[in-house]
Chains A and B, each alone.
Chain A
Amino acid sequence: MAVSKRIVLHFPKRMVDRPIVCRLVKDYDLEFNILKASITPEKEGLMILELSGEQGEYDKGIRYLTKSGVEIQSLSQDVLRNEERCTHCGACITICPTGAFELDPITRWVNFHDEKCLACGLCIKACPPRAMEVHF
């Protein structure tokens, strides 16, 4: 059976330069599509992949990633903004690796574009009034 899933990979600092993802192709015959990649303030790698292949190989690929020290998170969680708590300060703007927050230059309201959000979770604790919430 073929599967195709979207997952978030967190690479620890020491692994950022290693060609981990390429081995998924060579060893497990999986196909991947990088939807987004960036480096967090902690210098950890962050990558959103669409990964597809045969279920058995897919599972082995995931096991390989986990064993190598990559943390895997499925994209099923949702990050939402509690509009009542958000003060529109703007502290999140330089935190978000994908630019999901955008400042309106005239009103200075902070707009949250949730379609750009990859649920990396960085803004959750960096938002001073804790207006960003993870929902599962």
Chain B
Amino acid sequence: MAKTIAEINEKIKQGKAVVVTAEEIIGIAKEKGIKKAAQEVDVVTTGTFGPMCSSGAYLNIGHSKPRIKLGGGRAYLNDVPAYTGLAAADIFIGSNALPDDDPRNKIHPGEFNYGGGHVIEELVAGKDIRLVATAYGTDCYPRKRLETWINIKDLNEVVLFNIRNAYQNYNVAANTSDRTIYTYMGVLRADLGNINFCSAGQLSPLLNDPYYKTIGIGTKIFLGGGIGFVAWHGTQHNPNVPRTENGVPTRGAGALCVIGDLKQMSPKWLVGTSMLGYGCTITVGIGVPIPILSEEILRYTTVTDAEIFSAIVDYSDAYPNLKPDILGEVSYAQLKSGKVTLQGREVPTASLSSYPRAVEIANTLKEWILSGKLLLTEPVAPLPGVESGITFKPLNERPIEE
């Protein structure tokens, strides 16, 4: 029954493609069987909406008159520092960047009310942003100071470029110490007071294509409310982790590096985020379409929360000290039930990633495909798979002797 992406695109253009979400396919496959479902369904859409720290955007602000060379100087967007190690008019703003005068964790837990993620949200919302820059001045770029409002609509390129997003599975966080801790996995109460998790589970892109058989470099995706692309594998991409029989990793594994024109995205899907006591980040919406090229690929998309497991990690000790110990394994079905039994106790659970909004992304992507707004792309190159031998290396520290 093997189909090709070209054949599916032909069906999309004729308005005949059958597109369902990764949640809907579960019931369809149960009712019709894998074989029939694989014949009938052409595309399965996925979605995820959670805080994704390795996100940022680059901007070309255009040349001022007289010219200023931001490269090697300093630039601030609404007081948040942007990276200036590029050419004269290009800057990069990362989601974790903080104003120089933010008190950070001086009074713990710091609030982190405004940072790079919030700048990106305001930029994409069409708000004016205050750019303040200083430079050293050259013969060809004489200007030393620039203070101006900028707006996304007046800039040349404004591109979201996230070097690690859409993690394939993730740690589940708990705290065994006797004090509340404030982490990027949220507020974790003492003595196993709560457990936090952050994955869309059965809707999450890479959990529906565990061996990266269809998602590759060049795949066209839903990104921040607009259209984007997979640019590369994400940093820390680690295909070689333990997997269940159905191929699903039971630890953080693969990740995507994604790119897209920020001008066509929306603040609804790029939300500035503050993690108490930890820092600023951005909540990003991503959805990836999976072409059903074979029964095998369809079978992967039928994965349910009950079949996806992850490790509960102690963020008061194992995580900060880079110890491999885990407190246990748990399925997303258990996590989503609202409580998990751990060390003989019932611990309440909470999510950092929004499942209802992940459903909305998968449905939006489905509409885009059905209406012909988004055609599927053939990956230009695959993401590194298990055979690549890639592993996730810790830092090999070598003390610098004076």
Contacts and interface: CB of A to CB of B under 8 A. Distances in A.
Contact of A125 (B273, B276, B353, B355): B276
Given A94-B189, A108-B336, A128 B194 contact: no
A108 B194 contact: no
Given A41-B187, A91-B186, A94-B194, A128 B273 contact: yes
A3 to B, nearest CB: 36
A94 B283 contact: no
A108 B355 contact: yes
A87 B283 contact: yes
B350 interface: yes
A85 B272 CA distance: 10
Nearest to A128: B273
A41 B273 CA distance: 22
Contact of A94 (B275, B350, B355): B350
B210 interface: no
A94 B189 CA distance: 9
Interface string B328-357: 000000001010000000001111111111
B159 interface: no
A69 interface: no
A129 B187 contact: no
A31 B348 CA distance: 36
Interface string B256-278: 00000000000000011111100
Interface of A is mostly: loop
B208 to A, nearest CB: 18
Contact of B348 (A88, A94, A107): A94
Contacts of A43: 190
A95 interface: yes
Interface residues of A, number: 23
Interface in A90-104: 90-95, 103
Contacts of B276: 125-126
Contacts of A103: 338
Contacts of B351: 89-91
Chain B, interface size category, equals 20 to 34
Contacts of B193: 41, 94
Contacts of A93: 338, 348, 350
Nearest to B348: A94
Interface string A57-93: 0000000000000000000000000000101111111
A14 to B, nearest CB: 15
B275 A90 contact: no
A95 B354 CA distance: 16
A42 B180 contact: yes
A127 B51 CA distance: 12
Contacts of A89: 50, 283, 351-354
Contacts of A107: 356
Contacts of A129: 271-274, 283
A106 to B, nearest CB: 10
Given A87-B49, A126-B276, A129-B283, A94 B349 contact: yes
Nearest to A42: B180
A128 B186 contact: yes
The winner among A41, A42, A92, A103 for most chain B CB atoms within 10 A is: A41
Contact of A87 (B189, B336, B350, B357): B357
Nearest to A104: B356
B352 to A, nearest CB: 5
Contacts of A90: 350-352, 354-355
Interface of B: 49-51, 109, 111, 113, 180, 186-187, 189-190, 193-194, 196, 271-276, 283, 336, 338, 348-357
Given A94-B196, A103-B338, 14 more contacts: A41-B180, A88-B355, A88-B356, A90-B351, A90-B355, A91-B186, A92-B350, A94-B193, A108-B336, A126-B276, A128-B51, A129-B273, A129-B283, A130-B113
6 contacts: A88-B355, A90-B351, A91-B350, A108-B356, A126-B186, A126-B187
Interface of A: 41-43, 85, 87-95, 103, 105, 107-109, 125-126, 128-130
